[in-house]
Amino acid sequence: MDHRPLNLPDALLAALRQARRAVVLTGAGISAESGVPTFRDAQTGLWASFKPEELATPDAFRRNPKLVWEWYAWRRQRVGSVAPNPGHAALVEIEHRVPEFTLVTQNVDGLHKRAGSRRVIELHGNISRTKCFKEDVLVGQWNETGEVPPRCPRCGSWLRPDVVWFGETLPPEAFAAAEQATADCDLFLCVGTSAVVYPAAGLPFTALRAGATVVEVNPEATPLTAHATHALRGPSAQVLPALVRAAWGPIPSSPARGTHS
Ligand code: APR
């Protein structure tokens, strides 16, 4: 990994300070330094022989609901045992400094809200919620009979995580709100996403068409890199705090702001 000091151009810092309407799109990379494996990283342990694309689909669930439920139970347990990192905390700071701010995340881990971000649009759902596979309604409680997956107390169908699987459509209001905020923004940060899964991957291009400054934060190049106004190569838990400090000064570390180290 490259640990040279970041080159933060004056134009980038000015765009941050002058931003009135900011949108941030995050993907699995922002949670990497919290210890949540990115979606396309090699699966580990028990799950090493499965591809996420073969587990995170309605067909996979129909074929083997127990396997898919157990995979999500494992991921839920992982997410529950980690904490937000300084990258999440830096986005909380940006929200405090820019008058209109929208955080759009593809992550289902809930770490942005735990860090203290307030205006968060979860495009792909949240792994901590459960819904009925048949009726698509949220279910808060059910009887643990030992059956896996458990059954919906209303209709007896299987329960499933409230996340968006491959081949499923995004919650329409959530995506419409993300698109609207993006079309109106003057600053767009694209953090820790491979920028290949549409429709979310289209948002930075909407921002570019709207004339916004588009900043990518990622240790690797993506299909967005060549188009971004500024591409910052590095891990978000280092790059985002450095960006906030360079633009606005030291980051307060009060727990009320959700800063974790
Ligand atoms: N900081 C920033 N970015 C990082 C870091 C880090 N420390 N570590 C890895 N990354 C980058 C990788 O270079 C990669 O570009 O994070 C990205 C992770 O990519 P994916 O695993 O493809 O995750 P994401 O882009 O969120 O996937 C989008 O696809 O499968 C669906 O629903 C799933 O939400 C997911 C969506």
What is the pLDDT tens value at each position of the chain, 261 positions in all? Answer: 344 457 899 999 999 999 999 999 999 999 999 988 776 665 666 567 778 777 899 999 999 999 999 999 988 998 999 999 999 999 999 999 999 999 999 999 999 999 999 999 999 999 999 999 999 999 999 999 999 999 999 999 999 999 999 999 999 999 999 999 999 999 999 999 998 888 999 999 999 999 999 999 999 999 999 999 999 999 999 999 999 999 998 877 655 454 443
Q: Is 124 in the pocket of ligand 1 (CB under 6 A)?
A: yes
Ligand 1: residue whose CA is nearest its atom 29: 197
Q: Side-chain half-sphere of 75: how many Cα atoms within 13 Å?
A: 27
Of 26, 126, 193, which is best to mutate to test ligand 1, by the most ligand atoms within 8 angstroms of its C-beta?
Answer: 193
* Closest ligand 1 atom, residue 27 Cα: 26
- Which pLDDT belongs to residue 1? 39
Average confidence score pLDDT of the chain: 91
Q: Is 27 in the pocket of ligand 1 (CB under 6 A)?
A: yes
Alpha-carbon span 81 to 163, nearest angstrom: 19
What is the distance, to the nearest Å, from the Cα of residue 111 to the centroid of all Cα atoms in its chain? 8
List the one residue out of 30, 3, 25, 19 whose CA is nearest residue 240. 30
Close Cβ partners of 61 (under 8 Å, ≥ 6 residues apart): 68, 133, 158, 160, 165
DSSP readout, 210-248? TT-EEEEE-SS--TTTTTSSEEE-S-HHHHHHHHHHHHH
Alpha-carbon span 261 to 255, nearest angstrom: 11
Q: Is 40 in the pocket of ligand 1 (CB under 6 A)?
A: yes
- Which pLDDT belongs to residue 101? 98
- Which pLDDT belongs to residue 223? 97
- Which pLDDT belongs to residue 39? 67
Q: Is 105 in the pocket of ligand 1 (CB under 6 A)?
A: no
pLDDT tens digits, one per residue of 72-110: 998 899 899 999 999 999 999 999 999 999 999 999 999
Of 39, 43, 190, which is best to mutate to test ligand 1, by the most ligand atoms within 8 angstroms of its C-beta?
Answer: 39
List the one residue out of 147, 148, 129 whose CA is nearest residue 139. 129
- Which pLDDT belongs to residue 42? 52
- Which pLDDT belongs to residue 127? 96
Q: Is 192 in the pocket of ligand 1 (CB under 6 A)?
A: yes
Tell me if 200 sits within 8 A of 104, measured CB to CB: yes
Tell me, yes or no, if 124 is annotated catalytic: yes
Q: What are phi and psi of 208, to 5 degrees?
A: -60, -45
pLDDT tens digits, one per residue of 180-193: 999 999 999 999 99
Q: Is 204 in the pocket of ligand 1 (CB under 6 A)?
A: no
Close Cβ partners of 200 (under 8 Å, ≥ 6 residues apart): 25, 27, 104, 106, 123, 170, 178, 193
Ligand 1: residue whose CA is nearest its atom 8: 29
- Which pLDDT belongs to residue 162? 97
- Which is the catalytic residue, given 124, 227, 230, 260? 124
Neighbour order of strands in the sheet with 21-26: 120-122, 100-105, 21-26, 187-191, 213-217, 230-232
Q: What is the pTM of this model?
A: 0.92
Q: Is 38 in the pocket of ligand 1 (CB under 6 A)?
A: yes
